[in-house]
A = this chain, B = another copy of it.
Amino acid sequence: MGIHTDMAVEAHEYFSEKNSRIPSGGAKFLEKPIGTYITFEAEDLRGFENESSLQNRSFIAREIEKLLEKNGISDSAPILVVGLGNREITPDALGPKVVSSVFVSRHLFDHFPQIKNADLRPVCAVSPGVLGTTGIETLEIVKGINEHVHPKCVIVIDSLVARNISRLGKSVQLSDSGISPGSGVGNHRKGLNRDSLGVPVISIGVPMVVDAATITDNIFECSVSMLKNASEKQSKFYEMLSEMKPFERKAIFKEALSGITDELIVTPKDIDETVNDLSKVISAAINLGLHKGDISGYLQ
């Protein structure tokens, strides 16, 4: 509908602009499934060692705990962590990178019985790849693994598309409504949710790109407000622009863009570092949120 965002908070903003009020039946209207959505924003989200980074991690961990509790998942229930995305496309690599830093413990329960007293739970983790590199729908792979592993909950991590460039790499969205078809940088075709997997699905997403139509619109909006005080000819431009509804503009840009290419992404210049840093923060938060006991003795 002329807007592409994976962030509930943005969908809400957008429809607010458009309609001045959110209608009832909100979930459908927002094109987001019903459930709890938490958006956490922090300027210094990428940091790892200072005081505020410890607070960031604790906050995210606490939200994971709350979502588990809300969905009736006990402290010892086994969990499958799924890192969505293509590790060979930098802004889409968040999921696989988080998975490679998540502490996996499921196999230890088979071989070290004493672990049962350590206040840990069985956690396993996979990066299923994307349709374009595996030839298999992500949902099919996750279903197959799910049927052999029997977790009580699935946690999925994904890179998101945002509408507002100022959110890139600076927010985390947590939800218990799963991943919708068509969302994420990699565009999942089939949803990963309680319906398709049979257990609660908690998603953790970070906005990493905006699409090219969005950036155009963002710049456009800035142009409009910038031109308010400008000279005569520009004022005429302003008048024109300000008459258009945002969603009309965006639709035009989107159509125009399809004439060029839809294979462009807009990312922060330092996206490689951003993804590395955030994958550390999120995996640390997951480790903290999933285990009451101390895992440091099991790490390198």
Contact = CB atoms under 8 A, between A and B. Distances in A.
Contacts of A252: 223, 226-227, 234, 237
B264 A135 contact: no
Interface in A242-296: 244, 252-253, 255-257, 259-261, 263-273, 277, 296
Given A144-B146, A144-B148, A237-B244, A257 B222 contact: yes
Nearest to A221: B256
A47 interface: yes
**Count of chain copies:** 4
A89 interface: yes
A149 B140 contact: yes
B90 A272 contact: yes
Main DSSP-derived SS at the A contact region: helix
A215 B214 CA distance: 11
B266 A212 contact: yes
Interface stretch (A14-22, A117-125, A194-202): A117-125
Given A129-B126, A252-B226, A218 B260 contact: yes
Nearest to A139: B148
A108 B124 CA distance: 31
A79 to B, nearest CB: 10
Given A145-B141, A252-B223, A261-B166, A106 B125 contact: no
Interface of A: 44, 46-47, 49-50, 88-90, 100, 104-108, 122-129, 131-137, 140-141, 143-149, 165-166, 212-213, 215-216, 218-220, 222-223, 226-227, 234, 236-237, 240, 244, 252-253, 255-257, 259-261, 263-273, 277, 296, 299-300
